[in-house]
Structure 1
Amino acid sequence: MRTTWGMHTSLQIVEVRMNHFQFKFQTDFDLNRVLKDGPWSFDNQLLMLKRWHKGMVGAPFDMVTPQIATEVGSRLGAVEDVERHIREDTPNYFMRVQVAFPISKPLRRGGFIADSDGERTWVNFKYERLPILCHFCGHLRHDLNHYASHLVPEKIGGVVDYQY
């Protein structure tokens, strides 16, 4: 796309998640020209362009750092480890944090983080290697069979909303 748009060094392209890219233009003129002159295609596929705004894909990219991950993890419990990426120039889509937290409370599904401007963004938490987890209430000490309110609707073909 750099060659097509005539911006060999003045365009940064960052993959923010699978099949989603952020194009960083040096000037508003270049950005507006590319948006106006579309539609564009890449590798025989239509390239959908939309002006970027904060909160489009989870946490702001400049906030996916080990320092922020440690701060967010400390809200859950005692941070034991934060995964460090080998290369600093590769984008981080997520941060893996090992946290020791009380099992008497339900797991948190996410939380807000604030950027340098004070704008708050909701970030979903994902958990790995959990023992028995109740997908109904979020506690680790039992599973779904603990709740009759879960079993009855499922037996008669109803739908149960699992929060976790």
Structure 2
Amino acid sequence: MVFEFDDALDLERVWECEPWSYDKSLVVFQRAVDVEFAPLLEYTTSAFWVQLHNILEKSMTQEIGEVVGNTIGKIVQVADPEDDGQGCEFLQIRVSLDITKPLPRCCKLWLEGEHIGWALLKFEPLPNFCYWCGRVNHNERDCDLWLQGKGKLKKENQ
């Protein structure tokens, strides 16, 4: 589908509010300069808000958010922990991720070259998601991993 916007502000509002979903399925947008090039675009990335849990309060900084964001994808934005009203429970970042790969569930934290722990990642809001392989482009019923191992894989081995 191609959407055209008469107002640039409307386009930016749609772009800033991704990820979008329809019937709980992820809708991926790409900018096309010309309608002719739309079929040539790759729809492989989408931006998500990610909560970083298990981080020391002193490590909840813009720099740590950028490092973690660029480790798991391409950082778009780091929310200011002082302004988001979360009370320093977690650090929130917006990251553009390759949706052809499984979503990461955790990330190593480093400080001055030393491993200091793990950040647990929680995605918000998340559309249909396959808990077997970690991808957002299908759900469990359509997962190749699940279909190949049907009858062999047990729910507790997810």
Sort the TM-score into its range (normalised by shorter chain): 0.5 to 0.7
Ranked by relative contact order (alpha carbons within 8 Å, sequence separation 6 or more), the top structure is 2
1:113 aligns with 2:109: yes
SS at match of 1:160: helix
Q: 1:74 aligns with which of 60, 70, 73?
A: 70
**Shift of residue 94, structure 1, vs aligned partner:** 0.7
Q: What value does the CA root-mean-square deviation take over the aligned residues?
A: 2.8
Give the equivalent residue in structure 2 for 1:17.
none
> Larger % of strand: which?
2
| 2:108–2:115 Cα contact (<8 Å) kept | no
**Alignment: residue pair count:** 102
CA–CA distance in 2 between the matches of 1:78 and 1:133?
Answer: 21
Match of 2:93 among 85, 93, 97: 97
Structure 1 pair 73–117 and aligned structure 2 pair: CA distance change class (3 A): closer
What is the CA distance between 1:152 and its match in structure 2?
3.6
Instruction: Answer with 1 or 2: which has the greater Rg.
Output: 1
For residue 93 of structure 1, report the CA deviation from its aligned partner.
2.0
- The equivalent of 1:132 in structure 2 is 128
1:145–1:151 contact (8 Å) kept in structure 2: no
The runs of 5 or more residues in structure 1 that have no matched partner are: 1-56
In structure 2, the gaps of 5 or more residues are 1-52
The range that moved more, 113-122 or 72-81, is 113-122
TM (norm. structure 1) is 0.52
Give the percent of matched residue pairs that are identical in Structure 1 and Structure 2: 22
Q: Is the 8 A contact 2:55 2:119 kept in 1?
A: yes
